[in-house]
Amino acid sequence: MSLFAWKLNRGELSIKYSRTRFYMQIRHTLLTLGLVGIQQRFIDSFELDKEELSPERKHHKKVVDKYVPVRQPVPKHPPEGLNLVRLTWILCTKWNSEFFKE
């Protein structure tokens, strides 16, 4: 997610969006909707590169949080009509196709 936020900040994805605003607004929304989850990753001390960790994480070297996309359970056929349920189905289908290539 960090690389994506940097690309948004530099404007490489056809729009420019502040990295700070991304983490304050969009990250929270992605976590709330269940599109992204937090997974704790255990790190051995010999794998640890102190440059990779943010200043507040340098003291807690054993476990690092990692954002992972969550596969959305969607039916094969979309619901009828144009409503919130159908828009959610479209969003989740595109999310799965983007992050989970089959």
Residue owning tokens 């983007």: 98
Contacts of 79 (CB under 8 A, 6+ apart): 85, 86, 89
- Predicted confidence band at 49 (pLDDT cuts at 50, 70, 90)? low
Spell out where 25-93 has E strands.
Answer: 36-42, 63-69
pTM across the whole model: 0.60
CA atoms within 13 A on the CB side of 5: 13
What are the phi and psi torsion angles at 32 (to 5°)?
-65, -40
For the stretch 4-30, pLDDT in tens is 888 889 988 888 989 999 888 888 888
